[in-house]
Amino acid sequence: MAKAVKVTYTDLKPPILTIQDAIAAQSFFPSNDQEVIKGDAEGAIAAAPHIVTGEVSCDTQYHFHMETQVCKCTPLEDGMEVQASTQALDSVQTAVSQATGLAAHSVYVSVKRVGGGFGGKLSRSCVAASACAVAAQVLNRPVCLSMSLKTNMETIGKRAPYLGKYKVGCDADGRLLGIDYQLYENQGCSSTDSCLDYAVFFADSAYFCPNWRYVGTACQTNIASTTMTRAPGCISAHFFMEHIMDHVAATLGKDPGELRRLNMFQADLFKSAEVKRRKEEIEDFNKTNRWKKRGLSMVPIRYPIHWAGIRFTVFVAIYHTDGSVVITHGGIEMGQGINTKVMQVAAAKLGVPMEIVHVMATNSLSGVNSSASGGSVSSELNCKGVLECCRRLNERMDPIRQEMGGAPKWAELINMCHKKGLDLSEKYMEYPPPTAEGTQYTTWGATCTEVELDVLTGERQITRTDIVHDSGESLNPDVDVGQVEGGFVFGLGYWLTEQCRYDTKTGQLLTNGTWEYKPPTTKDIPIDLRVTLLPNAPNPHGVLRSKACGEPPLLMSCSALLALRQAVRSARAEVGHDDFFPLACM
């Protein structure tokens, strides 16, 4: 039906599509500017022995979740049942309530699992759910909505593009003395999902500088509103700082890895990644090969984790008939393993096998008022809620356990508790308070990536990547290693293969399918990918001494692009071009 609608436009003007277009037209969202000042950046730069200036940019990225925006709405005699593919249960309930005029208590939302989210189903799932609910209400019959890939790519928004202009002062050793940094974000036609604050917060990356000035400006353009995409704002700001470190190293004639090592790296990565030997081998390879070059890059990350203001409601119940345990929580399973971790925690705390623990679909009753799942914290906070529920249940059952000799069989204990009238269910809302530091804890990591470039064709291979990631005491190493690998490869697509193009006259998205838009495949990942979870690193501020691992590894993926720049520099040097140059993502 939508295809039958014909739109006629009048008074057409050239569309504003890029940050450069917005700057030229002075098209900004005035209320969204961000500024962070520390020390005296202007004075420090003016007095610095060396001053480095430049600009760097990175483009947009589509989420490319395997399942597009889908929803099923069924009218009920007293409201609406909504089965949504969403990361934000509470937001969908609110949106459907407002769109249909139903009270929130008349809108029952459930989510069994999501076929990939990456931020694309935080706010944007509300659009699909609202449209589906209105249709179901008008027709008074069940309606299922499923967006085509083309429609999904054209309408729901993507990662925000950024442009950074910088002026850096440093000493002869490469120590940063002052940074003045102007950051522009392309927010599209509205600023509803601005990520500019994230970008400004992460602007210093993993490096110390006594004097900073960050100014973030929100650009208004004619593309679809940009939205949260895995590590929103953070990945771009992190890359910009790594670009600056490379620029400083090139200006001073220093090795980029050594410059970073002075500031950040631990000896562990240099040893496990065999950095010294591989750098020597790369130098020899580049000397003897004219049309193939290799490059190596090392990148650290610092990723602060926030809990304050996030809430999840958890419910744990035990059935008296066989002692089986059922859990519902406010988090959304979207491939990150939240249900596996929740089951593990419950089984360990109650002292039962995982086989008798089951997680039911998240819903707006038992998971009432829960926050959206994102930011890498939903797994640990729901596990924390389950821990508290199980602690209370154990405390309630302990007197009867002691009456039965201290170690009765689980089924017999539950049966006796039921006979004595104990409540075998517990609900708890996890709502962490603010901390004095502003963050709960910090996740660290480092990576070393080696690439080989065909100078004639531009084809490249990532020959090896070594990643050391700080997961504290991992709740599930298999799940966490998978998250590290997945996050890194997601980032490789951003930097190396995925590109969005628009018609400069109409603003129409031209890359709206897999024929034009290329997410990474099996031939794009490192030939040799080695992931190590940092050993003996318990986190006293985390859940069971663990740390988050969903988004932080994504930031390390820019090491592949930086390694390619080293390979290109080696090729350029042979023809007399040894100047520094920017190299942006696709």
What is the token pair recorded at 469? 């990631």
Q: Where are the alpha helices (DSSP H) in 264-321?
A: 267-272, 275-288
* 114 burial type by CB count under 10 A (0-12 exposed, 13-18 middle, 19+ buried): buried
Helix, strand, coil fractions of the chain, as percent rounded to 5 = 35, 25, 40
* Residue 10 predicted with pLDDT over 90: no
Beta strand segments in 253-407, E:
292-305, 312-318, 325-329, 357-359, 362-363
* Residue 271 predicted with pLDDT over 70: no
Residue 303 contacts residue 580 (beta carbons within 8 Å):
no
* Residue 164 predicted with pLDDT over 60: yes
Q: pLDDT digit string (tens) for 171-189?
A: 999 999 999 999 999 999 9
pTM of the model: 0.95
Domain 265-306+439-586, classified CATH 3.30.365.10, yes or no = yes
CA separation for the pair 373, 379 (Å, rounded): 8
* Residue 510 predicted with pLDDT over 50: yes
CA 98 to chain centre: 29
* 419 burial type by CB count under 10 A (0-12 exposed, 13-18 middle, 19+ buried): exposed
The whole-chain average pLDDT of the chain stands at 95
Specify whether 395 is catalytic.
no
Beta strand segments in 149-211, E:
162-170, 176-186
pLDDT in the model for residue 265 = 46
Q: Secondary structure of 405-450 in the HEC alphabet? A: CCCCCHHHHHHHHHHCCCCCEEEEEECCCCCCCCCCEEEEEEEEEE
Question: How confident is the model over 459-469, as a mean pLDDT?
Answer: 97
Residue 533 contacts residue 481 (beta carbons within 8 Å):
yes
Residue 86 contacts residue 331 (beta carbons within 8 Å):
no
Q: How confident is the model at residue 1 (pLDDT cuts 50, 70, 90)?
A: low
What backbone torsions phi and psi does residue 262 show, to the nearest 5 degrees?
A: -60, -30
DSSP 502: B
Q: pLDDT digit string (tens) for 320-377?
A: 999 999 999 999 999 999 999 999 999 999 999 999 999 999 999 999 999 999 999 9
* Residue 266 predicted with pLDDT over 60: no
Ramachandran assignment for 71, one of left (phi > 0), alpha (psi -120 to 50 degrees), beta (any other): beta
Same fold: 70-155 with 265-306+439-586: yes
pLDDT in the model for residue 578 = 87
pLDDT in the model for residue 276 = 82
CA separation for the pair 323, 356 (Å, rounded): 8
- b/e string for 77-103 if b means 16 or more Cβ within 10 A? eebbbbbbbbbbbbbbbbbbbebbebe
DSSP 53: E
Domain spans of the chain?
70-155, 265-306+439-586, 312-430
CA separation for the pair 430, 412 (Å, rounded): 31
Cβ neighbours for 517, distance < 8 A, ≥ 6 positions apart = 62, 64, 153, 498, 499, 500, 511
Cβ neighbours for 365, distance < 8 A, ≥ 6 positions apart = 108
CA separation for the pair 149, 454 (Å, rounded): 33
CA separation for the pair 571, 460 (Å, rounded): 14
Question: How confident is the model over 109-126, as a mean pLDDT?
Answer: 97
- The catalytic residue among 81, 380, 450, 551 is 551
What is the residue whose two structure tokens read 């988004």?
551
Q: How confident is the model at residue 436 (pLDDT cuts 50, 70, 90)?
A: confident
Measure the CA dihedral 473/478/482/488, to 10°.
40
Share of the chain above pLDDT 70, in %: 98
Provide the 3-class DSSP secondary structure of residue 91. Answer: helix
Question: How confident is the model over 247-252, as a mean pLDDT?
Answer: 96
Fold of the domain built from segment(s) 312-430: Aldehyde Oxidoreductase; domain 4 (3.30.365)
What backbone torsions phi and psi does residue 135 show, to the nearest 5 degrees?
A: -65, -45
* Residue 2 predicted with pLDDT over 80: no
Question: How confident is the model over 54-72, as a mean pLDDT?
Answer: 97
Q: pLDDT digit string (tens) for 149-163?
A: 999 999 999 999 999
Fold of the domain built from segment(s) 70-155: Aldehyde Oxidoreductase; domain 4 (3.30.365)
CA separation for the pair 179, 46 (Å, rounded): 11
CA separation for the pair 11, 450 (Å, rounded): 52
For the sheet containing 176-186, what is the strand order? Answer: 34-38, 212-219, 176-186, 162-170, 50-58
